[in-house]
């Protein structure tokens, strides 16, 4: 099947030919006819299956076939030409994914008279507001920034004809469910709604039941097989030696563009700092970085200014970079699907790539589980990085008391000295009977006027 068989219009086919796309993916084959027909849809597909084009192409076709509605005006009519109203709203969980969806609409719709913009947080809102005021047909947004602009009355969405929730499961995980409900309530009831999710938990099904009307359901089985164009290998390595091994591997001339995956944001920063200290050009990308820093890091990696990008799984979700020669799992992923998704960044478009996994001693079972799921063995390579010596146990300082039978230090009797507690006279019988503490000048002051604080 080709894109022509999906009855896409010539402006879209022209853009696809220019990008070198000839054959639709499974999600595109199944989803595009439903969306072109105007049906609501619930799509379950992993990132990397081509779902952005699966909704961008039919949406562009629908908007192209209908005249843009003039933007509603309040008060007296203006002499200036009517601006366009927002006709399609796409919600995305992350800034990077939103930017890439916006780029896809721009790429596929470059032969059409349609305008779009992308709005997300972490950057100055003025350019985004300026674009909205000029009039757009398509808005791709993260829920947080969209709610900010709605509260500021910088845009209105009561003219939206098509709503898309992309990676709905991730948006719910990130706590956007309340924003989604508020946004949905501001939209026209008569609209087409498309919802995509990588997983289908009960919360997603519940949300779909509330916002979708008689939807078509498209489910694409999760990929657990790896591409033949990716050579897979692993190193058994002490966790404390991983950075040294990574530095040694990066010395190889074939590691031209390397994507390194870290389990945590803090770990990504530590790896990046270590690599830069070893003389490599590396950047980190994760959700704690500002948007400008993340955009710059991604641009530098794509342009070749840096040859190593260290990323967390969340930040790398939806990351689309060509010609990645190597993917390094600095931390082994927790499941096979994440492993397949990670290493699929390399070996694209017929090119060959390599995936290298660092595996600690206690992670070997996870590696075996990945092998069983993908149905392939991962070759284990040897390395020359010595394991660090175990830290010496601290010795007892000179003069330290010996431990008693229960492991506690023995008490040694000291002779009472003048002024010591042992040398003080015993309390009087009256004090002994009433339990009152020995008075001091400080205690006398407390009793005189300032009550002491009590615990709790």
Q: Are 115 and 246 contained in the same domain?
A: no
Asked if residue 453 belongs to a domain, the reply is: no
Q: Are 200 and 267 contained in the same domain?
A: no
The reported pTM is 0.59
Do 258 and 343 touch, CB atoms closer than 8 A? Answer: no
**What whole-number distance in Å separates Cα of residue 401 and Cα of residue 404?**
9
Q: Are 234 and 214 contained in the same domain?
A: no
Q: How many domains does the chain have?
A: 2
**What whole-number distance in Å separates Cα of residue 298 and Cα of residue 422?**
71
Q: Are 92 and 200 contained in the same domain?
A: yes
Model confidence over 87-108: pLDDT tens digits? Answer: 999 999 988 889 999 999 999 9
Asked if residue 444 belongs to a domain, the reply is: no
The pLDDT value recorded for residue 438 is 44
Give the Cβ contact number of residue 376 at 10 Å.
13
Low-confidence residues of the chain: pLDDT under 70: 47-48, 67-82, 222-225, 314-318, 349-350, 389-456
What is the DSSP code string of 53-94?
A: HHHHHHHHHHHHHSPPPBPP--SSPPSSPPPBPP-EEEE-SS
Q: Are 239 and 323 contained in the same domain?
A: yes
> Pick from 219, 245, 279: which residue ends a domain?
219
The pLDDT value recorded for residue 70 is 53
The pLDDT value recorded for residue 340 is 84
The pLDDT value recorded for residue 357 is 96
List 216's β-bridge partners, or say none.
Answer: 41
The pLDDT value recorded for residue 393 is 61
How far CA 183 is from CA of 150, 157, 202, in Å, comes to: 9, 9, 21
Q: Are 259 and 158 contained in the same domain?
A: no
Q: Are 177 and 257 contained in the same domain?
A: no
Do 140 and 147 touch, CB atoms closer than 8 A? Answer: no
The pLDDT value recorded for residue 175 is 83
Query: Which CATH number do you get for residue 334?
Result: 3.40.50.300
Dihedral angle of Cα 402, 405, 406, 410, to the nearest 10 degrees: -40
Domain that holds residue 98: 3-70+83-219
Q: Are 94 and 131 contained in the same domain?
A: yes
**What whole-number distance in Å separates Cα of residue 175 and Cα of residue 234?**
36
Asked if residue 443 belongs to a domain, the reply is: no
**What whole-number distance in Å separates Cα of residue 212 and Cα of residue 207?**
8
Q: Are 168 and 41 contained in the same domain?
A: yes
> Pick from 348, 366, 381: which residue ends a domain?
381
Q: Are 33 and 112 contained in the same domain?
A: yes
Q: Are 248 and 370 contained in the same domain?
A: yes
Do 250 and 373 touch, CB atoms closer than 8 A? Answer: no
Do 164 and 196 touch, CB atoms closer than 8 A? Answer: yes
> Which residue has 């032969």 as its token pair?
111
Q: Are 199 and 238 contained in the same domain?
A: no
């Amino acid at each position: 099947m080709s894109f022509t068989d999906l009855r896409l219009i010539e402006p879209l086919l022209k853009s696809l030919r220019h990008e070198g796309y000839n054959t639709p993916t499974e999600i595109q084959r199944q989803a595009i006819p439903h969306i072109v027909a105007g049906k609501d849809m619930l799509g379950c597909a992993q990132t990397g299956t081509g779902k952005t084009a699966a909704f961008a192409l039919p949406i562009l076709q629908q908007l192209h076939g209908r005249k843009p509605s003039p933007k509603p005006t309040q008060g007296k009519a203006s002499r200036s030409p009517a601006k366009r109203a927002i006709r399609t709203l796409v919600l995305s969980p992350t800034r990077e994914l939103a930017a890439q969806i916006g780029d896809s609409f721009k790429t596929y719709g470059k032969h059409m008279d349609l305008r779009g913009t992308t709005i997300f947080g972490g950057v100055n809102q003025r350019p985004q507001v300026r674009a909205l005021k000029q009039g757009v047909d398509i808005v791709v947004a993260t829920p947080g920034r969209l709610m900010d602009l709605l509260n500021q009355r910088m845009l209105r969405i009561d003219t939206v004809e098509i709503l898309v929730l992309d990676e709905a499961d991730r948006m719910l995980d990130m706590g956007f469910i309340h924003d989604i409900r508020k946004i949905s309530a501001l939209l026209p009831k008569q609209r087409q709604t498309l919802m995509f999710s990588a997983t289908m938990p009960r919360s997603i099904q519940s949300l779909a039941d509330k916002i979708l009307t008689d939807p078509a359901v498209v489910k694409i089985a999760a990929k657990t097989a790896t591409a033949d164009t990716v050579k897979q290998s692993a190193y058994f390595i002490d966790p404390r030696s991983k950075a040294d091994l990574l530095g040694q591997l990066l010395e190889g001339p074939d590691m031209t563009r390397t994507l390194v995956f870290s389990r945590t944001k803090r770990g990504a920063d530590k790896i990046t700092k270590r690599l830069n200290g070893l003389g490599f050009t590396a950047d980190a990308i994760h959700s704690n970085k500002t948007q400008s820093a993340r955009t710059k890091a991604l641009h530098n990696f794509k342009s070749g200014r840096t040859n190593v990008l260290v990323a967390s799984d969340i930040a790398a979700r939806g990351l689309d970079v060509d010609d990645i020669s190597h993917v390094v799992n600095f931390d082994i992923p927790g499941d096979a699907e994440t492993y397949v998704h990670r290493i699929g960044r390399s070996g694209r478009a017929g090119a060959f790539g390599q995936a290298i996994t660092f595996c600690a001693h206690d992670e070997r079972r996870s590696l075996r589980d990945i092998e069983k799921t993908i149905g392939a063995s991962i070759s284990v390579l040897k390395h020359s990085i010595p394991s660090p010596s175990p830290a010496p146990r601290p010795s007892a300082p000179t003069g330290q008391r010996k431990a008693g039978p229960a492991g506690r230090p023995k008490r040694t009797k000291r002779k009472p000295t003048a002024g010591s507690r042992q040398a003080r006279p015993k309390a009087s019988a009256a004090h002994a009977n009433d339990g009152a503490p020995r008075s001091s000048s400080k205690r006398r002051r407390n009793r005189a006027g300032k009550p002491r604080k009590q615990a709790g």
